[in-house]
Amino acid sequence: MARPKKKDDYGFEESEVQEAVQPQAQKPSINQAMAQANMELNKGEKSRKKLYQKYKDEEKIPMYLSPMYRPYFGNVMQVSINGVSIYFKVDGSNQLVPQTFADEITSRRLKIDAILTKQKRMAEASSNVEDSPGELKLF
């Protein structure tokens, strides 16, 4: 059976009292915590700037997105990679974008194309007839 912890006349345990009267120098101060947080913030900001410069120095690829993709992406598509964002117009005009962002834009476009192709196959009811189960390949 566990022993009950010894409490003083006011209901505090001895360890709680010792912690409260501990010298201020041993406790971390708010200023130290703020300094640590600022150092972490500056470190993160430096790495973000390095990443931004890396994307800025990448080879630029000419790309465009047809206006038919507006219902899916809007007039302007935001592409964010590792916290760095670009805004790509979906109006059919050629734009130069870094290779990494071009790959992401192409990937998104291909996903929409796959969805549209699947919808088109499912909508063709006259050609969706099969004589035996599994004969028709829809996907």
Q: What is the pLDDT of residues 55-88, one digit of tens each?
A: 999 999 999 999 999 999 999 999 999 889 999 9
* Cα 31 from Cα 26, distance rounded (Å): 14
Average pLDDT of every residue of the chain = 83
Sequence letter at residue 98: P
Mean pLDDT in residue range 103-131: 86
Give me the residue spans of the domains in the chain. Answer: 59-123
Reply yes or no on whether the pLDDT at 17 is more than 70.
no
Q: What is the pLDDT of residue 31?
A: 82
Q: pTM, whole model, 2 decimals?
A: 0.64
